[in-house]
Amino acid sequence: MLKVLKFGGTSVGTLDRIKNVAQIIKKIKDEGHDVIAVVSAMSGETNKLIEYAESFSKTPLESEMDMLLSSGERVTSALLSIALNEIGYKATSMSGREAGIVTDNSHTKARIEHIDTTNMKNAINEGKIIIVAGFQGVTEQSRVTTLGRGGSDLTAVAIAGAIHADVCEIYTDVDGIYTTDPRIEPKAKKLDKISYDEMLELASLGAKVLQNRSVEMAKKLNVNLVSRSSFTPEIEGTLITKEENIMEKPLVSGIALDKNQVRVGMYGVTDKPGIAANIFTALADANINVDMIVQTVGVDGKTDLDFTIPKTDWEICKKMMTKFEEQSENIDYNEKICKVSIVGVGMKSHTGVASKAFAALANENINIRIISTSEIKISMIIEEKYAELAVRALHEAYDLDK
Ligand code: ADP
Ligand code: ASP
Ligand code: MG
């Protein structure tokens, strides 16, 4: 079998942890499999580099950020390769460029356009273990790009898809996908399987255990994706697969929490056609991901507009919004909010799912500010101080601990 393995920040967080990863790879190689391992930077490294840059500038050039941040994963790929060679295994590290990963030009959030697998195939044919520096690629013009936070997951899935690997195993510090973040609710249960669509919702709604774009790509390319732990590699993880491969479909599969949100309130906005279009076109052009949007009923030719954006886009958003100051009486920002969401394919065919969520929060005296729903999810914006309480209340309301 050809296996693509990915080891996240904590899994390579110290030199001892890197040695441990070398042992996991050694075992899989000894079982007769070919291995391509994708690695993250050592935990904390990417944040440290961002802080360094921000000590010089609040808005550093994105192309320079990519040059800086991509270095973190190159360090771990070389170290892991050195460790494997030392124990007698032929290994070779590859940067994104050497692995043939070509992206578009959107620095810091680049999309993979194609992967030229020639180098990787040649190395595999020579019996080598490949260690790819995750999270990065190059543009057609050979400039280094990065794939967004958590992007090493995407590197692994994209390579698995391009090279037709039999499986893509994402090794992290928990042994699979749980009904909610086990660090918030210790009663959370591990799932054996979860559908691509549910995982995509959970990941997009804040469950950072898998990067959302990696799940989207896994679904598109039909990659057998497994989430498991490098701390307990003997334990089977969670399989992320097609909905039809899952016999038992729970009403609700999981709860996600996202604290990386800011609510933007525009009050007394002129209520006439085209205003919302102008605002949201401007935000889209600035590559800002607007999430929930609420517009209240207009009174006396004025209306209020509320929407949420990721905290990471806050600075750019503020700059943008100065253009619209004249079209509204007041614009304010609230970052002390969070989004809790419940996700489950069973919602498609059952009623009463939403009312249960609202009742569970009401029981805890938690006020819901904004609600949005789709076929398989319900999201609610609440005050940040209630975040963990809300997750636990919802987890219990849907009997996820049973
Ligand atoms: P890595 O550094 O390996 O990429 P991450 O820190 O990105 O790992 O993701 C792993 C973390 O995701 C876990 O430590 C856990 O706290 C968190 N997490 C959030 N939601 C879930 C969930 N539903 N199941 C498992 N882990 C979750
Ligand atoms: N090192 C990058 C990050 O911290 C990418 C990754 O770990 O997947 O976001
Ligand atoms: Mg991650």
Q: Is the CB of 152 under 6 A from ligand 2?
A: yes
Q: Where does 264-328 have alpha helices with state H?
A: 275-285, 314-321
Give the residue, by CA position, lying nearest to ligand 1 atom 11. 209
For residues 102 and 138, the answer to whether their CB atoms sit within 8 Å is yes
Q: Nearest 10 degrees: CA dihedral of 145, 148, 154, 156?
A: 60
Ligand (nearest to CA of 40):
2
Q: Which residues contact 43 (CB under 8 A, 6 or more apart)?
A: 8, 9, 10, 12, 13
The reply to whether 378 falls in a domain is no
Residue 51, pLDDT score: 97
Poorest-confidence range of 1-15, 173-187, 302-316? 302-316
The reply to whether 272 falls in a domain is no
- What span, in angstroms and rounded, lies between the C-alpha atoms of 381 and 371? 7
* Average pLDDT taken over every residue of the chain: 95
Give the Å distance between the CA of 211 and the centre of ligand 3: 6
The reply to whether 121 falls in a domain is yes
The reply to whether 376 falls in a domain is no
pLDDT > 90? residue 127: yes
94, 95, 220: which is closest to 162 by C-alpha? 220
The reply to whether 117 falls in a domain is yes
* pLDDT bucket at 178, cuts 50 / 70 / 90: very high
pTM: predicted TM-score of the whole model, two decimal places? 0.93
The reply to whether 316 falls in a domain is no
The reply to whether 145 falls in a domain is yes
Share of the chain above pLDDT 70, in %: 100
Q: CATH number of the domain that 63 lies in?
A: 3.40.1160.10
Q: Is the CB of 13 under 6 A from ligand 2?
A: no
Share of the chain above pLDDT 90, in %: 86
Give the distance from CA 66 to its chain's centroid: 18
- What span, in angstroms and rounded, lies between the C-alpha atoms of 383 and 21? 40
Torsion angles phi and psi, residue 33, rounded to 5: -95, 155
Q: Which domain holds residue 87?
A: 2-173
Give the Å distance between the CA of 8 and the centre of ligand 3: 6
Residue 35, pLDDT score: 98
Ligand 1 pocket mutation pick from 45, 152, 209, 391 by most atoms within 8 angstroms of CB: 209
DSSP assignment, residue 348? G
245-294 pLDDT, tens digit each: 888 778 899 999 999 999 999 999 988 888 889 999 999 998 898 989 99
The number of distinct structural domains making up the chain is: 1
What sign does the dihedral 83-228-134-125 (CA atoms) show? positive
Structure tokens at 123: 């190395």
193, 189, 192: which is closest to 178 by C-alpha? 189
DSSP assignment, residue 177? -
The reply to whether 25 falls in a domain is yes
Q: What are the distances in angstroms from CA 133 to CA 95, 252, 396?
A: 5, 36, 40
- The neighbouring-strand residues paired with 254 are 343
